[in-house]
Chains A and B, each alone.
Chain A
Amino acid sequence: MQKTKRARKGRLWSLAFSVPELTILIMLIAGGYLVMGVFSRVEGTQVLSPSAMWLIIVGSFLISTAVAVLAVIGGIGGGVIFTPIMLGFTHMDSLIIRATGLVVAMFSGLISSGPFMKTQLANLKVVFYCGVPITIGALVGSVSAIYLHDALGAVGDGIVRLSLGILMLVVAYFLFTGGGKTEYPEPKHIDPLSVKLRLNGSYWEASLGKMVDYQMVRALSGGILFVLLGFMGGFFGLGGGAFLTATLNLVMAAPIKIAAACSGVLLAISNATAIWTYITYGALIAIFAAPWMLGQVVGGILGAHLLIRIRAGFVRKILILILLASSFKLIVRGVEGAFGIQIPIL
Chain B
Amino acid sequence: MKQERPKPPLAALMYGEIVYWGVLLGSLLAIIGSVLAFLGDNYVPVSYWLSSIWQGESIYQTWEGATGSLPMGHWYLSHLTTGDGLTALGISLGVFSVVPAIFLSAAVLFREGERLYGSLALAGGIVVMMGVLGLAPMP
Contact = CB atoms under 8 A, between A and B. Distances in A.
Nearest to B37: A287
Nearest to A106: B95
A120 B72 contact: no
Interface in A67-119: 90-93, 95-96, 103, 106-107, 110-111, 113-119
A274 B59 contact: no
Contacts, number: 259
Interface stretch (A27-35, A246-254, A329-337): A27-35
A252 to B, nearest CB: 16
B95 A276 contact: yes
Contact of A143 (B15, B39, B76, B136): B136
Given A47-B54, A92-B54, A103-B91, A291 B34 contact: yes
Interface in B75-116: 75-76, 83-85, 87-88, 90-92, 94-99, 101-102, 105, 116
A339 interface: no
B47 A36 contact: no
Interface size class of A (residues with CB under 8 A): 35 or more
A294 interface: yes
Interface in B8-67: 8-9, 11-13, 15-17, 19-21, 23-24, 26-28, 30-35, 37-40, 45-51, 53-59, 62-63
Contact of B47 (A53, A90, A113, A293): A53
A215 B108 CA distance: 24
Interface string A51-74: 001101100000000000000000
Interface size class of B (residues with CB under 8 A): 35 or more
A128 B120 CA distance: 6
A282 B71 contact: yes
Contact of A56 (B50, B57, B120, B132): B50
A42 B70 contact: no
Nearest to A35: B35
Interface string A146-165: 11001100000000000000
A284 interface: yes
B45 to A, nearest CB: 7
A284 B88 contact: yes
Contacts of B11: 124
A131 B72 CA distance: 27
Nearest to B139: A150
B72 A281 contact: yes
8 contacts: A32-B34, A42-B38, A43-B45, A124-B9, A132-B127, A135-B124, A139-B130, A202-B6
Interface of A: 21, 25, 28-29, 32, 35-36, 39-48, 50, 53-54, 56-57, 90-93, 95-96, 103, 106-107, 110-111, 113-120, 122, 124-125, 127-129, 131-132, 135-136, 138-140, 142-143, 146-147, 150-151, 197, 202, 204, 210-211, 268-269, 272-277, 279-291, 293-294, 297
